[in-house]
Every structure is written in C-alpha cells, then in structure tokens.
Structure 1
C-alpha cells in the first residue's frame, strides 16, 4: 500500500443505541465487501466497553459467521475465562451467542502459561521470577504473531497482515490496544505482536498489536461514548500533533480510520462530523473496494505470469 493516509472520518450519534446500530451496519458492510473480494472476513476486537457495543451483531441476519476470522488487538496474559480477558468479554457479549466455530476465534495460547500465571495471573512478579516471566510473555506474543502469519500468509503477497476491520477503544489517557503514551512500544517497527510487562493500567502483563498491524488495516474503527470521553476525544482529533496513541492510528492508503461516538462524547470537538449513510449492500465505488479490485488484478496477473514461466 502507498504510505499515505486519509484524515479520520467522524460519525456522531444522539445516543448509544443509534451508535451501536450504525456500527453493526458498518461491520456488516465491511464483512460483505471482504467476502465478495476474498471469501473471508478478518476482524480484530478489543476489550473494555467495546464488547457490549457489539451486542447488536447477534441479531444481524446477514452476517456470515462461517466466513469470519476473529483476532484480538490486545489481550491480557490471563486465563480465557478470567474477568480481565478481552476474549471473555467478547464471548459473553456476543461470540457465545452466534454460530461461529471456536477454531475461527484466535486466542492467546494458554498452554504456554507458567504455573504461577495459572495460579495468580495478575499477581506481582517476584524479582527472582522476572526473567522467566518475561520469556513467557515473549513466547505468548510470538505465538500470537505466528497465528497471524498462518492466517494471512495465503491472503495476499503483502508484507503485513491487512485486516478488513480492527475495532478499537480509547483509554482515558489516549491509549488504544495496549499502546500507552510515552511507552517504548510506540516505536516498535519490527514485530506485529509485542509483549508488555509494565502496563500503566492493570493487569500489567499483556500482548498487543503494534502499529505495523494497525496501520496496514483496510479499516480501523474507534468507538467512544459518554461525557467522560469529551476532553480526551477533543485532544486526539483536534490536536493530533500531540501524538497520543489513538492519534497515531492512521492506516496507509487506501485504509481508513473511523470514529463512532455519541453526541455526549463529541460535545467539545471542533473536528468536522460526517453523516453516516446506512448501507444495505456493499458497493464497488468506495476506495477500499476499488483497491481490493486492483490488488486482485495484480495478483491474478502475477499468478498468470508465473504459470507461463
């Protein structure tokens, strides 16, 4: 993809039900577009308040759950049924309520956990156990990166995984995934998935997508609602030069970043809003769809040329 990016698209709604209804329609559109062009829909989810905003997906009849490949943009190093697990939050909100197979949902490999992690996953790491704990976290992150490789290796010839959609939240400090302000991971340029042992927000031990993944997606969509989001949302969208983690999510062309917010969260914004257009079916006139067609033609031409060699 060309290394340029378009400004964020901001959608604001009178209330949360209106927001989540449009978000479900947006996800359906992204799914339909992806399946039309590649036969599969790759999506990454986040935790926090996001899972509850995805509950309307359960009632969207047009969703082809058998075509979904689900990842998590970040995850806490805890058992999958732990209250801090992003997987657990999404499972309870909607994944357990829809006909999607477990093998289509890519979770961290808990078989790599140390015994201490199984017993007390959020406990303090003793000094003498720090190296072992770090090696464990690295192994978990590397394993998750290998899951990305196995899913995306045959999808296209790109250097990076290109998710159809990554859904993100906005932390009170402007963090997203487990990428925190001022943290060294903001500058990670090699790894797709990295471990973090010192998260400012508990639990401390996590893995996270890096910008190498976020900024090569076709679509990234943030969801933020409530008066408590006003100041930070304004800082992120009105002052992107401050470089907060959320502001740094700018997918390379033709990728786009979207914000789904309610009017309460948007109250202090100067950033221009765009009217959301309800979409009944995928169209071929949006930039992402056009780019997919171009990529397919290039891949077909490459395969054809290889067959003649």
Structure 2
C-alpha cells in the first residue's frame, strides 16, 4: 500500500485548484490507458471544491463520457432529500458536465426512500459486482477487492471518513464491499458506506480537509498516530492528503 503524502495549501481556493488538476490528470491517464475512469465521491464540501473542473481548461478537455461515478457513502433517504450526497453532487457538479446518466451509480431510490439501510447496502454491492462482471471495475490482484481509479474523500472533526466512525464496528468489516449503519453519530443516522478494504484498494486516494474544526483530528493522525478511521486510509498507488492552513494549524 502507498505511504501517506501531505500537502498544505495557503487557501481553500488553491486547494480546490489542486484537486481539479489532480483529478483531471488522473482522468486523462486512465482514459488513455483503459478507456474509462472510475471516480468515487464523498459528500460535504468536496463538491464545492470540485467546481474548478467546471471552468477552463478542464470543462472542455476532460473526457466526461468515459467517467463512471460512485459514492463512498450515502445517506439512506430519497434522492431529492437535502441530506442526499447524490443530490448534492448532482446539483453542484454532475448536472453541469456531460457524464452519461447510465454511468452515475446512485443507491437504490426505492429502498432509500423506505429507509432500509441494510437492503440499500446489499443492492449497492450487487451494483458493483455487476460492474466487475462487465469489466468496468477491476478486482485488485493484491487485495481481491474492487479497485477504483480515484476516491475523493473528506474527514470529519472526529476523524471519520465515509461513514466509518470512531467506536463503531463498520471500520472492521472485511467480508463485504458495502455495509450499513443505523446509528450514525452524525445525522442522519441511516447510511451505507464502502468498507475500509474497498477504500484502500483504490489506485489513488485523495483526502481533502479544510477548516480549523478538523485541525485536532489532523494532528492526532499526523503527529500522534492515533488510530482514528481516517488514519487507516491507504491506496494501491498513492495516498495524498490536501490540507488548507486552518486544517494544518495544529501540526
């Protein structure tokens, strides 16, 4: 697994520009090498930071038709619910680029609206399994879990990533690709999430963290090696952390 790299940017704007460049470069690399690009999104501020991709030189140079978009975690709610990571991404980013709708893989709308977290997790894993069969997602020969090209992640003030929270058992799940949680300490309580082995099987993982509220957790991981969920982040090729000055203020 790749070792952790950290880059601190003077401002959110420069961090956002760097995320756009990093994502665009990997899109070009994978589209050239294998004809498609699998990218996994998270929620929070990430979508705002990705909006630099909606500007030149990226908007008209990226091969959007070759993108396949997934979510590392999702709130179990309808797709038009304000809590939905799908809605956040669609409203702020995905609806503004020409990615085919069939290449955007949301959780099952029916069971999400019904609040059935366990069934949503099962169905999302089945979706991934079908895409493995279709050769959209490869299986990592090293880990034997699905290997996405890039996961774009964020971290909460408690050190959680995806919906893997401190003190909750989901961080230890290894027999599933997607699991569920019904007692998330951060509302809403019902969520599904990719498991840690899947996250760490990605070719590239980028963790983007901004604001002073996250500074303590950043320091706990980077300086004190505290085993918070985000501390377990790795990748097959590269694991990089992008921080703004505020998030790095306690290092």
Q: TM-score range by the shorter chain?
A: over 0.9
Shift, 1:113, TM fit: 4.5
**SS at the partner of 1:84?**
coil
Question: Which of 25, 28, 33 is equivalent to 2:29?
Answer: 33
Shift of 1:11: 1.2
Q: Secondary structure, in 3 states, of the residue corresponding to 1:11?
A: strand
Return the match for 1:168 from 153, 156, 179: 153
Post-superposition offset of 1:112: 2.6
User: What residue in structure 2 maps to residue 302 of structure 1?
Assistant: none
Give the stretch that moved more between structures: 149-158 or 257-266.
Answer: 149-158
Q: How many residues end up aligned between the 2 structures?
A: 243
TM-score (normalised: structure 1) = 0.76
Q: Which moved more, 1:105-114 or 1:41-50?
A: 105-114
| Residues 43/113 of structure 1: CA separation in 2 closer, same or farther (3 Å cut) | closer
**Offset of residue 37 of structure 1:** 1.6
Aligned counterpart in structure 2 of residue 51 of structure 1, from 29, 47, 52:
47
Write the distance in 2 (CA, Å) between the matches of 1:29 and 1:41: 11
Extract structure 1 runs of 4+ deviating beyond 6 A: none
Cα distance in 1 for residues equivalent to 2:26 and 2:205 = 11
- The DSSP-based 3-state class of the residue aligned with 2:248 is coil
Q: Which residue is equivalent to 2:7?
A: 11
d(CA) in 2 for partners of 1:167 and 1:266? 19
Q: Which residue of 2 aligns with 1:145?
A: 125
Offset of 1:15 from its aligned partner? 0.8
Distance in 2 (CA, whole Å) between partners of 1:54 and 1:93 is: 9
The aligned residue for residue 85 of structure 2 is 86
Pairing 1:84-233 to 2, within 5 Å after superposition: 84-113=83-112, 117=114, 136-153=116-133, 154=135, 155-156=137-138, 158=140, 159-233=144-218
**Bigger Rg, which one:** 1
Q: 2:16 aligns with which of 12, 17, 20?
A: 20
Q: Distance in 2 between matches of 1:184 and 1:249?
A: 16
How many angstroms does 1:268 deviate by?
1.8
2:227 aligned to 243, 265, 281, which one? 243
C-alpha displacement of 1:6: 3.0
Partners of 1:215 and 1:160 in 2: CA distance: 9
Give the match for residue 291 of structure 1.
none
Structure 1 match to 2:71: 72
Q: Could you report, residue by residue, the CA deviation over 1:156-191 in whole angstroms, capped at 9, with x for unpaired residues?
A: 454321111001110110000000001111110110
> Which residue does 1:234 correspond to in 2?
219
Counterpart CA distance in 1 for 2:75 and 2:37 is 24
Structure 2: unaligned runs, 5 residues or longer: none
Secondary structure in structure 2 of the residue aligned to 1:214: helix
Do the aligned partners of 2:182 and 2:190 also contact (CA within 8 Å) in 1? yes
Q: Give the TM-score normalised by the residue count of structure 2.
A: 0.92
Give a deviation string over 1:188-218, Cα, whole Å, max 9, x none.
0110000111111100000000012111000
